[in-house]
């Protein structure tokens, strides 16, 4: 095994081009487990810790550019207002020790359906900035996950940053597990209201071969909210609408039975989380609306 | 490969390090510092917790090559680290920190291993002894490092803060209540001292 230690992004890209089988390592919270257990013996380890740029973030007009290695702890502490869904999801990642090392780039690189960041990224809307010596491109998050632990990266590409839309409305994240800390999601759900475009986006984790959006559920809810004038009148969501939304989210799942839970449990739990996160975010939207309009 | 890094305030060098080796292995097997414990090797248990550039991490998940030029504090250096912090930090003389030899021989024994008397302990270590928070002792080093870091950041933690900060450290004797007592005790003593 060779340990490659590029000190700049350009050097890292050159190293990855020269050794496409090199395994990038940043926080190490996935890669080192595989090495410790002898599940993997990569020919090259490509250490990204010395590239300072990857640990930084910028808050722009519409997006946050989040460096691939920004640890979850920093997201929780610094980006709660801009990226509330991702901050909530970050808080559910493993333990403080892991959150101090792991970041969204690793979650995307591993592309496990159970990665905690995925539902939040899908719901908020995001693009993954990847680069190789051939050039840079941005992959929409909806096109990024291609299979179980597979993503749209080419062999010579590295993940540099994620561009996540700043929240323009309430966002929520919910996750089912046996305890609060150190839990791989049985299933997870992210929901974001986008009052600017009068749309709702979702993200489902650990209930299909890849993280997915519940698109039929989104379309149904968008139409129901529009039809009922909900965005303007700020009424509470009709229970029948919430139920239909929850059912459609369950239907968007394609889960398996495994040690963490059964397929039918996952389908059910996703529906429950969909209904709850919808209620939470909508109540928060109504509250904010009342404050703005000064009505009691 | 060779790895140069700072351990407990002193420059160290580890030779013949295999590229896939963890920081934990380097500490225990190359530098002779077995205080950080090896259990799950997957970041679940927290018994290998050390501070890397000030931040608590699972040393089993840090590749050895990643610590080149960086600073690590292990449980063996915790007493000196806490003392230095209490004195206002800084190390102009270069004589602070813990030598490798002292770290290798470090024990909580002193003149009385039951009470820790005669040894200079950090506040959190003394509190663990006083509160009876040490049973088999395997999880203790990781808990000490994690708890000490939390108290540095948050001197007046709520019970929820303590649980959150220690949520990555498992105690299979399940002595969590005494561990909570110990951290509360250390926090109380710390606030009295100010």
| Inside any domain, residue A223 | yes
Task: Return the closest-CA partner of residue B31 out of B80, B79, B69, B64.
Answer: B64
| Inside any domain, residue B84 | no
Number of domain units in chain B: 1
Which residue among A5, A45, A97 sits closest to B168, beta carbon to beta carbon? A97
Lowest mean pLDDT among B7-16, B100-109, B145-154: B100-109
| Inside any domain, residue A6 | no
Which residue among A3, A5, A94 sits closest to B43, beta carbon to beta carbon? A94
Number of domain units in chain A: 1
| Inside any domain, residue A234 | yes
- Substitution target in B26, B29, B39, B43 with the highest count of A β-carbons within 10 Å is B43
The boundaries of the domain holding residue B161 are 108-193
Rounded CA separation B71/B91 (Å): 14
Residues of B in contact with A1 (CB under 8 A): 18-20
pLDDT of residue B106: 82
Rounded CA separation B64/B60 (Å): 9
pLDDT tens track for A101-126: 999 999 999 999 999 999 999 999 99
Considering only alpha carbons, which residue of chain B is nearest residue A1? B19
Distance from CA of A27 to the nearest CA of B (A): 7
What band does B96 get if pLDDT is binned at 50, 70 and 90?
confident
Q: pTM of the prediction?
A: 0.95
| Inside any domain, residue A81 | no
Q: How far is CA A92 from CA A83, A95, A212, A220, A276, in A?
A: 15, 8, 19, 29, 17
Please check whether residue A253 is in contact with residue A243, taking contact to mean a CB–CB distance below 8 angstroms: no
pLDDT tens track for A231-284: 999 999 999 999 999 999 999 999 999 999 999 999 999 999 999 999 999 999
Subunit contact B65:A27, Cβ cutoff 8 A: no
Q: Is the pLDDT of residue B92 over 60?
A: no
- Substitution target in B24, B66, B142, B171 with the highest count of A β-carbons within 10 Å is B66
Region A10-30 average pLDDT:
98
- Mean per-residue pLDDT of chain A: 97
Which residue among B18, B43, B68 sits closest to A29, beta carbon to beta carbon? B43
Q: Which residues contact A197 (CB under 8 A, 6 or more apart)?
A: A168
Subunit contact B20:A5, Cβ cutoff 8 A: no
Rounded CA separation B183/B35 (Å): 20
pLDDT of residue B119: 73
Rounded CA separation B58/B81 (Å): 19
Subunit contact B20:A35, Cβ cutoff 8 A: yes
DSSP for B6-54, please give it: EETTEEEEE-S--TT-BHHHIIIIIS--TTS--S-SSSSS-TTEEEETT
- Substitution target in A32, A44, A94, A98 with the highest count of B β-carbons within 10 Å is A32
Subunit contact A45:B18, Cβ cutoff 8 A: no
| Inside any domain, residue B183 | yes
| Inside any domain, residue B91 | no
Tell me whether B60 touches chain A (CB under 8 Å).
yes
Q: Is the pLDDT of residue A291 over 90?
A: no
Q: Is the pLDDT of residue B93 over 60?
A: no
Subunit contact A100:B55, Cβ cutoff 8 A: yes
| Inside any domain, residue B170 | yes
Residues of A in contact with B160 (CB under 8 A): none
Tell me whether A47 touches chain B (CB under 8 Å).
yes
Rounded CA separation A200/A221 (Å): 7
Distance from CA of A178 to the nearest CA of B (A): 14
CATH number for the domain spanning B163: value is: 1.10.150.120
Tell me whether A49 touches chain B (CB under 8 Å).
yes
| Inside any domain, residue B167 | yes
Place of tokens 């303590």: B162
Distance from CA of B58 to the nearest CA of A (A): 6
| Inside any domain, residue A249 | yes
- Substitution target in A1, A2, A3, A41 with the highest count of B β-carbons within 10 Å is A3
Rounded CA separation B102/A122 (Å): 52
Subunit contact A33:B22, Cβ cutoff 8 A: no
The boundaries of the domain holding residue A231 are 171-293
Tell me whether B55 touches chain A (CB under 8 Å).
yes
Q: Exposed, middle or buried, A263 (CB in 10 Å: 0-12/13-18/19+)?
A: middle
Distance from CA of B77 to the nearest CA of A (A): 19
CATH number for the domain spanning A246: value is: 3.30.390.50
Q: Is the pLDDT of residue B116 over 70?
A: no
pLDDT tens track for B46-88: 999 999 999 999 999 999 999 999 999 999 999 999 999 998 8
């Amino acid at each position: 095994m060779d340990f490659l230690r590029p000190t700049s992004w350009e050097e890292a890209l050159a190293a990855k081009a020269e050794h496409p089988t090199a395994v990038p390592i940043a926080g190490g919270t996935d890669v080192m487990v595989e090495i410790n257990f002898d599940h993997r013996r990569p020919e090259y380890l490509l250490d990204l810790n010395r590239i300072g740029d990857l640990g930084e973030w910028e808050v722009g007009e519409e997006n946050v550019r989040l460096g691939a290695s920004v640890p979850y702890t920093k997201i929780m502490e610094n980006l709660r207002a801009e990226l509330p869904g991702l901050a909530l999801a970050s808080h559910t990642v493993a333990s403080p020790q892991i959150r101090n090392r792991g970041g969204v780039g690793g979650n995307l690189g591993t592309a496990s359906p159970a990665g905690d960041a995925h539902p939040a990224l899908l719901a908020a809307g995001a693009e993954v900035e990847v680069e190789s010596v051939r050039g840079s491109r941005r992959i929409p998050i909806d096109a990024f996950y291609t299979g179980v632990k597979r993503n749209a990266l080419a062999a010579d590409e590295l993940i540099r940053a994620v561009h996540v839309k700043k929240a323009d409305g309430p966002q929520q994240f919910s996750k089912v597990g046996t305890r609060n800390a150190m839990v791989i999601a049985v299933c997870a759900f992210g929901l974001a209201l986008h009052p600017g475009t009068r749309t709702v986006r979702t993200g489902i984790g650990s209930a299909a071969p890849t993280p997915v959006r519940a698109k039929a559920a989104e379309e149904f809810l968008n139409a129901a909210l529009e039809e009922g004038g909900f965005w303007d009148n700020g009424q509470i969501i009709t229970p029948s609408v919430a139920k239909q939304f929850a059912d459609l989210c369950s239907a968007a799942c394609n889960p398996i039975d495994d040690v963490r839970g059964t397929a039918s449990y996952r389908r059910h739990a996703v529906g429950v989380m969909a209904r709850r996160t919808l209620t939470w975010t909508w109540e928060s939207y109504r509250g904010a609306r009342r404050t703005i309009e000064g009505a009691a | 490969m060779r790895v140069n890094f700072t351990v407990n305030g002193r420059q160290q060098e580890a030779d013949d390090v295999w590229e896939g080796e963890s920081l934990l292995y380097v500490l225990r097997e190359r530098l002779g510092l077995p205080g950080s414990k090896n259990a799950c090797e997957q970041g679940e248990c927290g018994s290998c917790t050390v501070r890397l550039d000030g931040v608590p991490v699972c040393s089993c998940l840090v590749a050895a090559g990643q610590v080149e030029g960086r600073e690590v504090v292990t449980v063996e250096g915790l007493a000196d680290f806490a003392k230095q912090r209490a004195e206002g930090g800084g190390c102009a003389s270069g004589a602070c920190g813990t030598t490798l030899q002292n770290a290798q021989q470090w024990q909580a024994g002193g003149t009385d291993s039951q009470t820790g008397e005669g040894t200079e302990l950090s506040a959190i270590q003394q509190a663990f002894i006083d509160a009876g928070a040490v049973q088999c002792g395997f999880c203790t080093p990781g808990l000490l490092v994690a708890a000490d870091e939390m108290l540095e950041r948050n001197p007046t933690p709520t019970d929820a803060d303590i649980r959150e900060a220690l949520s990555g450290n498992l105690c299979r004797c399940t002595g969590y209540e005494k561990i909570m007592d110990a951290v509360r005790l250390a926090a109380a003593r710390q606030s009295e001292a100010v």
